[in-house]
Amino acid sequence: MRDLTLPSSPTFWRSPVRGTRFTSLLGLALLVGIPVVFATGLLSYAAYNPDLSPVNDQTPDKGLLGGYLFPWPTDPHWLYRLTQGVHVTLGITLVPVLLAKLWSVIPRLFAVPPARTLARALERLSLLALVGGGLFVFATGILNIQLDYLFPGSFYRLHFYGAWVFVAALALHVALRLPAALRAVRRRGGPPEGGADSGASDPGASDAGASDALRPAAPTTSRRGALWFVGAGSLLLLGTTAGRSFDGPLRATALLAPHGWAEPGDGPGGFQINKTAASVGVTPEETAAEVWRLALVGPAGTVRLSRSDLAALPQHTAALPIACVEGWSTSDQRWRGVRLRDLAGLAGHEEGSVPDVLVTSLQRSGAFRRAALRANQVADPRSLLALEVNGAPLTPDHGFPARVIVPAAPGVLNTKWVARMEFRQLSARDGGDR
Amino acid sequence: MTGRRSLRAATGSPVVLVLLGCSFALTGYAGVRLLEGDWFMILLWVVGAAFLHDLVLLPLYSALDRAATRACAALGWREAVVHVRVPAALSGLLLLLWFPLISGRVAERYAEVTGLSGSGFAQRWLLITAALFALSGAALLVRLRRAAKQRPPTDH
C-alpha cells in the first residue's frame, strides 16, 4: 500500500534520526561557528578602511551598519590572512552543518495550522529571512570565490547587507530557541522527547513541537552515526580547503577549492595571483622602461620617477603575505623596494607627519583600480612600493614595474602596476576622489 | 480579565513580540539597502534560495536516499545503505559547493584571471568520489567479515 499522508501530517516524516536533541546539537555548532564567520566578515569590511575614501567603499549607504569601523592596524602582519582565511574556510566547513540543521527541522515547515498566535506567525515570517538570508549569504560567498558572478548585483553589497538581514533573523531565532536547545542537550541519554517542551508554560512552543518522528521507519543509522556523518562532511570540506592559505605542499591538499592544488608557475614569482596583467589590460608597452613613470603628488607638486630612479632610492626588505578577500593567501614573500613613507617625503611631506595616500593603477578595469591607504599604513616601515620579490624583479602578473605591499592589508589594497600616488589627507566625503 | 487572556492567546507572549520588533527593525534597515538596485531579482534570490532548498534539493536527496535504502532492503541488508549514502552524499556535497569549477562553467575566466589551470577540477572530483566509495567498500568488507566470524560455525 502506498502512503497517502501529506507533508503536513506528523506521520509523513519517518526518519528516526530527527529529534530535538539532534537539531539542538547542530544548532549549537552553528551558534559557535556563525558568529565567528560574521565577526570576521565585519573585520574584513573594516580592513578595507571604507571610511577613509569613497574608492575603498563598496557600500557607502551603510549608515549605522558601519558604526563599528576602526582604522585597520598593520600588526600582526598576518592579521587579514588569518581573519579572512577563517571567514571563508570556516564558512565552507559549516555548510554540511547548515544543511543538516535545515534537514532536521523540515517537518516544521509544513506544520498545520501554520501559527496559532500573532507572535508565532511573525516568527515564521522571520524564519524565511533566516533560511533564505542564510542560504543567500552562503551562496553568494561560495559563488564569488569561484569567480562565478551569477548573483544580481555587486558582491560586496549583497554579501554585506545580506549578512545583516540573516543575522537579524538569527539573533531572534537564538533568543527564542536557545533555552529549549540547551535543555534538550542537557537531557543526555534520556528517552527521546515526545513533547515535554510543548507544555502550557510557553504557548508559542507548542507550534514548534518536538521533531521526533511519530511513526519512525526502522533505523539505518543511529543519531550518533548521523552526527559523525555531518562531521565527516565538514572535515572533508575543511581538509580540501584549508591548504589554500599556505604555499608549498599544503596548497596541493586544497583539491577543489579555488587557488588550491597548484601554484601559477615556479621561480621567485611563482605564487598565487589575484588578477593577471592580461586580465585587466596592462600591456608590456605601457610598463616599458622608457614609457612608465610613477607620478608622486604632494605639497612639492608632481614628481615623476622612472623605475631606475626608484631603484636608486634606499631599498628595504619586508616579508609579507598576499591575503585575498576570497579567503586564499600566500605565505610570506620577500619584497624589496622603497618605503611608502620615504615616497611621502619625496612628495614634500615632512618626516613625522605622514599623510594618507591615494594610489592609482595602470589597470583599465576592476573596482580597486584606485585604492586608499591610511596614514598608519603609509608610516609602517614594512609598507613598500616593491620593485622586487624573492630576489628577482616583479613579474608582470605581480605588478611590474612597481606595486604596493602593506602589512595586514587585504590583497586589493596592495595595488599593482602603480601609476600615481597622491599623498594627502583623505576623507570619506572627498568628492575630488572620483 | 478574560478579554485580556484571549488577546494574549491571539498575540502570543509580549516579550516575544518586542524581540520580533527589534529583529524586524534591523531586517528592514539592512533590507532596504540589500534591495537597492535590482530589488526584484535580489528578493527572488533570497526567497528562491529557501524554496529551492526546501522544495527541490531536500526532497530530491531524500528521494534518492529512500530509493537506495529500498534497493539495499531488497538485497536483504537494509543497514548496508550507509555504505552508499555516506560516499554519495560527501561526493554530492563537494559537487554542490564547487559546481562552477567542477562543471567547467568558469574555467576560461578562472584561467585568464588567476593564471592557474581551469581544468582538472572534474577529474579530481571524480578521483575523490572513487576514493570515497573505495573506502566505504573496504569498510563494508570489514563489517561482512566480522559478521561472518561472529556467526556460529554451524554451516560447516
Distance of CA B31 to CAs A68, A89, B25, B36, B39, Å? Answer: 19, 26, 9, 9, 10
Among A98, A144, A255, which Cα is nearest to B102's?
A255
User: What are the structural domains of chain A?
Assistant: 20-239 (no CATH), 278-429 (3.90.420.10)
Residue B4 in any domain: the answer is no
CB contact residues (below 8 A), chain A span 404-433, against chain B? none
Q: How many other β-carbons are positioned within 10 Å of the β-carbon of residue A331? A: 16
* Alpha carbon A344 to chain centroid, angstroms: 32
Average pLDDT over residues A159-180: 97
| SS3 label, residue A277 | coil
Average pLDDT over residues A351-379: 93
State the alpha helices, DSSP H only, in A72-195: 79-109, 118-145, 155-186
Which residue has cell 572530483?
Answer: B125
Residue of B nearest to A270 (CA): B115
Contact yes or no for B49 and A135 at CB 8 A: yes
B36 and B60 in one domain? no
Distance of CA A62 to CAs A24, A66, A212, A269, B35, Å? Answer: 34, 6, 43, 38, 13
Q: Which residues of A touch B102 (CB under 8 A)?
A: 256
Weakest mean pLDDT among A182-191, A333-342, B51-60, B117-126: A182-191
Check residue B121 and give its pLDDT.
97
| SS3 label, residue B59 | helix
Domain count, chain B: 2
Query: For A392, phi and psi rounded to 5 degrees?
Result: -135, 155
B31 and B57 in one domain? no
Contacts 24+ apart (CB under 8 A), A387-390: A387/A307, A387/A310, A387/A311, A387/A315, A387/A336, A387/A337, A387/A338, A388/A335, A388/A336, A388/A337, A389/A268, A389/A269, A389/A333, A389/A334, A389/A335, A389/A336, A390/A268, A390/A269, A390/A333, A390/A334
Would you place residue A429 in the very low, low, confident or very high pLDDT band (cuts 50, 70, 90)?
confident
Beta bridge partners of A317: A336
Would you place residue A376 in the very low, low, confident or very high pLDDT band (cuts 50, 70, 90)?
very high
Check residue B7 and give its pLDDT.
82
| SS3 label, residue A113 | coil
CB contact residues (below 8 A), chain A span 80-99, against chain B? 92, 95-96, 99
Give per-residue pLDDT as tens, B67-102: 999 999 999 888 889 999 999 999 999 999 999 999
Residue B153 in any domain: the answer is yes
| SS3 label, residue B150 | helix
Which residue has cell 527564542?
Answer: A176
Given the DSSP bridges, would you call strands A294-298 and A418-423 parallel, antiparallel or unpaired? parallel
Query: For B65, phi and psi rounded to 5 degrees?
Result: -65, -40
Average pLDDT over residues A300-316: 97
Cα angle A256, A258, A263; round to 5: 100
* Alpha carbon A88 to chain centroid, angstroms: 5
Q: Would you call A253 an interface residue with chain B, using a CB distance cutoff of 8 Å? A: no
| SS3 label, residue A418 | strand
Asked if A269 and A395 count as a contact pair (C-beta separation under 8 A), the reply is: yes
Whether the predicted pLDDT of A195 surpasses 50? no
Whether the predicted pLDDT of A193 surpasses 50? no
| Test mutation, B5, B7, B16, B101, chain A, max A CBs within 10 A | B16
ipTM of this model?
Answer: 0.93
Question: Directed axis angle between helix B2-11 and helix B14-34, to 10°?
Answer: 30
Would you place residue A189 in the very low, low, confident or very high pLDDT band (cuts 50, 70, 90)?
low
Residue B38: CA count within 13 A, CB half-sphere = 10
Give per-residue pLDDT as tens, A242-278: 999 999 999 999 999 999 999 999 999 999 999 999 9
Average pLDDT over residues A386-391: 98
Chain B nearest-CA distance from A42, in A, is 14
Residue B155 in any domain: the answer is yes
B103 and B156 in one domain? yes
Return the exposure string of B91-118: e unless at least 16 CB atoms fall within 10 Å of the residue's CB, then b: bebbeebbbbbbeeebbebbbebbbbeb
Weakest mean pLDDT among A155-164, A218-227, A232-241: A218-227
Q: Which residues of A touch B63 (CB under 8 A)?
A: none
B155 and B93 in one domain? yes
Whether the predicted pLDDT of A198 surpasses 60? no
B17 and B72 in one domain? no
The C-alpha cell of B4 is what? 485580556
Which residue has cell 534520526?
Answer: A17
Give per-residue pLDDT as tens, A95-114: 999 999 999 999 999 988 88
B127 and B76 in one domain? yes
Domain of B114, in residue numbers: 51-156
Among A382, A366, A349, which Cα is nearest to A415's?
A366
Q: Is A327 left (phi over 0), alpha (psi -120 to 50) or beta?
A: left
Q: Which residues of B touch A258 (CB under 8 A)?
A: 101, 110, 114
Asked if B61 and A219 count as a contact pair (C-beta separation under 8 A), the reply is: no
Q: Would you call A123 an interface residue with chain B, using a CB distance cutoff of 8 Å? A: yes
The C-alpha cell of A128 is what? 524565511
Amino acid (1-letter code) at residue B64: L
Contact yes or no for A147 and B109 at CB 8 A: yes
B84 and B31 in one domain? no
Q: Which residues of B touch A204 (CB under 8 A)?
A: 12-13, 16
Contact yes or no for B17 and A122 at CB 8 A: yes
Give per-residue pLDDT as tens, A283-298: 999 999 999 999 999 9
Asked if A415 and A362 count as a contact pair (C-beta separation under 8 A), the reply is: no
The C-alpha cell of A398 is what? 605581480
Residue B132 in any domain: the answer is yes
Q: Is A147 left (phi over 0), alpha (psi -120 to 50) or beta?
A: left
Whether the predicted pLDDT of A329 surpasses 50? yes
Residue B1 in any domain: the answer is no
Whether the predicted pLDDT of B153 surpasses 70? no
Give per-residue pLDDT as tens, A214-228: 888 888 899 999 999
CB contact residues (below 8 A), chain A span 152-191, against chain B? 152-154, 157-158, 161-162, 164-165, 167-169, 171-172, 175-176
| Test mutation, B45, B72, B126, chain A, max A CBs within 10 A | B45
Check residue A203 and give its pLDDT.
38
Would you place residue A434 in the very low, low, confident or very high pLDDT band (cuts 50, 70, 90)?
very low
Residue of B nearest to A273 (CA): B114
B60 and B28 in one domain? no
Give per-residue pLDDT as tens, A5-29: 888 888 889 899 999 999 999 999 9
Residue B139 in any domain: the answer is yes
Asked if A245 and A331 count as a contact pair (C-beta separation under 8 A), the reply is: no
Check residue A364 and give its pLDDT.
83
DSSP of B96-108? HHTHHHHTTTTHH
Given the DSSP bridges, would you call strands A316-320 and A403-405 parallel, antiparallel or unpaired? unpaired
SS3 content of chain A, % helix, strand, coil (to 5): 45, 10, 45
Whether the predicted pLDDT of B12 surpasses 70? yes
B25 and B101 in one domain? no
Whether the predicted pLDDT of A37 surpasses 90? yes
Among B87, B58, B69, which Cα is nearest to A229's?
B87
- Sign of CA pseudo-dihedral A371, A377, A379, A382: negative
B135 and B96 in one domain? yes
DSSP of A205-272? HHHH-----SSPPPPSS-HHHHHHHHHHHHHHHHHTTGGGGSSGGGGGG-SSSTT-S--S-SSTT-S-
What distance in Å separates the CA atoms of residue A307 and residue A241, rounded to the nearest whole number?
A: 39
Whether the predicted pLDDT of A395 surpasses 50? yes
Contact yes or no for B112 and A103 at CB 8 A: no
Contact yes or no for A161 and B34 at CB 8 A: yes
Weakest mean pLDDT among A149-163, B1-15, B16-30, B99-113: B1-15
Whether the predicted pLDDT of A64 surpasses 80? yes
Contact yes or no for B33 and A92 at CB 8 A: no
B65 and B18 in one domain? no
B59 and B35 in one domain? no
Residue B2 in any domain: the answer is no
